[in-house]
Structure 1
Amino acid sequence: MQKTPFAPRYTGVNHLAMATEDMDATVLFWRDLLGMRLIAGLGHEGYRQYFFAISDVDMVAFFEWPGVEPLPEKDHGVPVRGPYVFDHVSLGVADEDALWDVRDRLEGAGVWVSELVDHGFIRSVYTFDPNGIALEFSCYVPGVDLRAHPRMTDTAPSVRTMQGPDPVPGAWHLKGAPTPCDQRMVYPGEGHDLMHRKKNMWETGND
């Protein structure tokens, strides 16, 4: 197999960016129910963007814009018709050299790509995939660690936001008890055959 000349060391999904009209409800869910630290908040009256830590390297972000309406509920992966979109996907790369590698490769292929943008804690370039999906590639700024030192610069933070970056004990009054081990059922999903089919088509072909 021919080795690809371009193999950047991706670190995962830097952040997923979505939109909400109610940042308090979003903070209540992502920070207080799911247990993700709110590590950055920026904005002003009528506009906010907050980041929650998914892991040591991954985040989910929300813009708050007036007039945003929740999407209709839809089962995962079921096709839909008509407009259906979220803001963008940011893919993490190891460092600024890797970011330049990505930019140079996109530009060399004739794909539109932005200049490098410094956001203070991450540096990014922007482009679009063939499906029109907005993509961002990001690396962290050396010496800036929002997980160790969270910051909130929103000039009009919500009341719940001002409770701090950490999950608030007692914010949710959970009902019931943990599911007993002997009742923990796991059902096969769409990817179940990936590990349980005997044939790996890359190894065996269509035989």
Structure 2
Amino acid sequence: MTRSESRVQVQGLHHVTIVGSTRQSAIDFWEGALGMPFVFEQPNLGNPAENHLYFDPGDGRLLTVFTDEGRTDAGRDAPREPGTVEHLAFTVSRATFQLAPARLRARGIEVLERDRGFMDSIYFRDPNGMKVELACYKFQTPEGWRDADVLRRAFELRVARGDANITAEHLADAIEDLLRR
């Protein structure tokens, strides 16, 4: 690889920032409904008319929300077009996953549950119409490996077998392969 072909190597997701409506709406949803502890706030240094709220989604990284007391909740689905985020997905335990639909519905939040083959998903919308997902893998990653390692190997097995999507069999065989290494 020549110098002109070198690339920047990212090492993980640092944070995600979304545009919200009011401070209280953001706190009620991200901390109240989803249990993400409120960490701190300060003015949006790029736009002092907005406030910048920081929440911990559980892994020590941050989800941040720009708020403005002059805005109201959008009350519509967020746009889905090139250049926009389709949804944000958060990892939850199997126990939380099983309880989440009832807890969200109790707050008046509509949910859609889906089996994705290698994981289960619950979809719903934040107060501004952005789609949010709670995801729970159907496998336990072996010590010393990462979720992506299991999924990469399961994908290779799926393709080699000509299957349409990753199934429990691909996951089990992928884990077995990784443990033999």
Give me the TM-score of the superposition, normalised by structure 2.
0.39
Greater helix share, 1 or 2?
Answer: 2
| Rg larger in structure | 1
Give me the TM-score of the superposition, normalised by structure 1.
0.35
